[in-house]
């Protein structure tokens, strides 16, 4: 990864130039976004295949979705980067400290959406919250919603599947985080933390707080640009792979097959989707193009939502990181409770739609 | 000058160490850089997001790779 920084080079760029630069960018973005279909058709026409053939369909799908997803990601990640510069883990901790369960769970799940989070700092964040007296269940609400309801997932769902599904995912992702956190809190499992974490919890070695820095609006823009760079470095390969697989499904998988194995009539499809999703390690960027293609082939919405939530919210690498602070029993409860919540969402949707 | 970088080994933590090392060399300052990867030590500084930078026992930065200017300011 490159460590060159653009920011120190232009400390004298006046603020108005930044503001107008952002405006120009948004206008250019909008103009380009409206040219995506002609672009995809033109790219497809360069290949020596029938446009209406399976291969032609798959190629057109690929060249339409890749630029579309990349553009949506750029815009939404930038906006979320700016929004997130208003929220720091330290501020989240201050907001959550002393909150009761219930209200605390709702706040924690909501803050999980806007607080900067990366699974590599899940442990210091966990400790920071627990040591400040945030109840365990409230901390879990945060830890569930932060990776699951993220801007990458919402941007991709919005762009590929439509705003209704994006909104549904958002609402039920929050719902699962709130309820699962609350249930874990009710179980009173503080004793199942690792010993050293329990000592901090009891206030024995409470770490000192760190004061954050003040930011100007231009700093926040930079924060957004940095977020775009970082997310792209991390997810571009997953997007290509995901859309490639989506394109194959779109072009080649027969309609009836998906409707049969992932349709609403197959009761076992929801638990199967959740179970397959847990060990799968990809992120929203990789899984949502597949989701889009599956939905297009007649898979049931609930089954697909359950699959997606389980892939994103319950990942093996994150469990391994959390193993440093949680005992295996507590991790098992965590997976069990969140998994059940996702199951419920899956069945509910298959039943409703 | 004693500088500690707190981070469990993610990409941003590595580039923080490299960045500080490079800026210090350019500025002709001699620093002793230590990378702290042990979680208990990291949380004992009270940071909630990594990478964190500790100078003289005090946390001066958290959550991102510091910019060149920030590092130069610390080195003064």
Identify the CA nearest to A258 among candidates A311, A312, A313, A301.
A301
Q: What is the pLDDT of residue B50?
A: 84
The Cα-based distances of A255 to A142, A242, A286 in angstroms read 39, 19, 22
Going by pLDDT thresholds of 50, 70 and 90, the confidence category of residue A7 is very low
Check CB contact under 8 Å for B49 and A124: yes
pLDDT of residue A12: 63
Q: Strand pairing of B2-6 and B32-36?
A: parallel
Asked whether residue A292 carries a pLDDT value surpassing 90, the answer given is no
Please say whether the beta carbons of B5 and B14 come within 8 A: no
Query: What mean pLDDT do residues B23-29 have?
Result: 89
Mean pLDDT of chain B: 86
Q: Which of A203-212, A323-332, B42-51 has the highest mean pLDDT?
A: A323-332
Structure confidence at residue A281 as a pLDDT band (50, 70, 90): low
Phi, then psi, of A283 in degrees rounded to 5: -125, -175
- A124 with B63: Cβ contact below 8 A: no
Strand arrangement, sheet containing B2-6: B32-36, B2-6, B52-55, B58-62
The pLDDT tens digits for A137-188 are: 999 999 999 888 888 888 888 888 888 888 998 999 999 999 999 999 999 9
Q: Facing residues of B54 across strands?
A: B4, B59
Taking alpha carbons only, the member of A15, A16, A26, A148 closest to residue A76 is: A26
> In the numeric block, which tokens belong to residue A30?
């909008």
Q: A128 vs B46: CB contact, 8 Å cut-off? A: yes
Of B19, B39, B48, the CB nearest to A324: B39
Task: Please list every residue in chain B whose beta carbon sits closer than 8 Å to the beta carbon of residue A1.
Answer: 11, 15
**What six digits make up the tokens of A172?**
């039920």
Measure CB to CB from residue B48 to each of A124, A196, A324 and give the nearest one: A124
Count helices and strands in chain B by DSSP H and E runs: 3, 4
Q: A85: which chain B residues are within 8 Å (Cβ-Cβ)?
A: none
pLDDT at A6: 44
Taking the CA of residue B75 and the nearest CA in chain A, the distance in Å comes to 16
Question: Hey, are the CB atoms on A205 and B44 less than 8 Å from each other?
Answer: yes
The average pLDDT across A203-220 equals 62
Mean pLDDT estimate for chain A: 83
Q: How many CB atoms lie within 10 A of CB A42?
A: 11
The answer on pLDDT for A343 being more than 90 is yes
Residues of chain A found within 8 Å of residue B22, distances taken between Cβ atoms: 3
Rounded to an integer, the average pLDDT of A1-18 is 59
Residues A290-301 have a mean pLDDT of 84
Most confident among A75-79, A178-182, A246-250, A274-278 (mean pLDDT) = A178-182
Q: What percent of chain A has pLDDT over 90?
A: 20
Q: Residue A336 is inside which H or E element, if any?
A: helix A328-352
- The answer to whether A141 and A112 have CB atoms below 8 angstroms apart is yes
**In terms of CA atoms, which chain A residue is nearest residue B54?**
A210
Helix/strand/coil percent split, chain B, to 5: 40, 25, 35
pLDDT at position A11 is 53
Yes or no, beta carbons of B43 and A127 under 8 Å apart: yes
| Confidence (pLDDT) at A329 | 93
Q: How far is CA A172 from CA A45, A112, A135, A293, A296, in A?
A: 41, 14, 22, 21, 22
Residue B76 CA to its chain's centroid (Å): 15
pLDDT of residue A205: 46
Residues of chain B contacting A108 with CB distance shorter than 8 Å: none
DSSP A269-290: HHHHHHHHHTT----HHHHHHH
In this predicted structure, the answer to whether residue A51 has a pLDDT above a threshold of 50 is yes
Token pair, residue A320, equals 């391994």
């Amino acid at each position: 990864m490159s460590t060159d920084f653009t920011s120190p080079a232009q400390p004298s760029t006046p603020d108005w130039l930044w503001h107008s630069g952002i405006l120009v960018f948004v206008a250019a973005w909008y103009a380009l976004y409206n040219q995506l279909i002609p672009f995809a058709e033109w790219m497809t026409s360069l290949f020596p295949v029938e446009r209406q053939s399976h291969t032609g369909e798959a190629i057109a799908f690929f060249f339409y979705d890749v630029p579309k997803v990349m553009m949506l990601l750029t815009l939404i990640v930038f906006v979320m980067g700016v929004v997130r510069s208003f929220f720091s883990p330290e501020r989240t901790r201050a907001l959550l400290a002393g909150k009761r369960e219930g209200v605390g769970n709702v706040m924690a799940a909501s803050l999980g959406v806007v607080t900067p989070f990366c699974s590599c700092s899940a442990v210091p964040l966990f400790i920071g919250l627990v040591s400040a007296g945030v109840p365990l269940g409230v901390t879990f609400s945060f830890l569930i919603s932060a990776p699951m309801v993220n801007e990458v997932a919402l941007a991709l769902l919005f762009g590929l599947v439509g705003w209704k599904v994006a909104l549904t995912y958002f609402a039920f992702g929050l719902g699962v985080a709130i309820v699962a956190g609350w249930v874990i809190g009710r179980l009173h499992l503080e004793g199942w933390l690792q010993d050293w974490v329990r000592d901090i919890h009891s206030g024995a070695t409470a770490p000192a707080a760190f004061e954050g820095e003040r930011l100007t609006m231009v700093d926040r823009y930079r924060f957004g640009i940095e977020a775009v760079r970082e997310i792209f470095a991390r997810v571009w390969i997953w997007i290509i792979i995901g859309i490639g697989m989506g394109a194959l499904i779109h072009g080649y998988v027969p309609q009836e097959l998906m409707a049969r194995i992932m349709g609403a009539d197959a009761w076992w499809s929801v638990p199967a989707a959740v179970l397959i999703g847990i060990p799968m390690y990809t992120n929203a960027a990789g899984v949502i193009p597949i989701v889009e293609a599956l939905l297009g082939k007649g898979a049931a919405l609930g089954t697909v939502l359950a699959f997606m939530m389980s892939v994103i919210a319950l990942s093996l690498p994150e469990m391994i990181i959390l193993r440093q602070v949680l005992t295996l029993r507590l991790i098992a409860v965590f997976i069990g409770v969140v998994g059940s919540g996702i199951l419920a969402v899956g069945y509910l949707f298959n039943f409703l739609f | 000058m004693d500088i500690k970088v707190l981070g469990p080994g993610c990409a941003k933590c590595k580039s923080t160490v490299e960045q500080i090392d490079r800026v210090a060399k350019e500025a002709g300052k001699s620093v002793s850089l230590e990378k702290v990867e042990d979680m208990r030590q990291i949380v004992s500084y009270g940071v909630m997001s990594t990478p964190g930078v500790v100078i003289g026992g005090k946390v001066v930065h958290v959550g991102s790779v510091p910019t060149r200017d920030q590092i130069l300011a610390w080195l003064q």
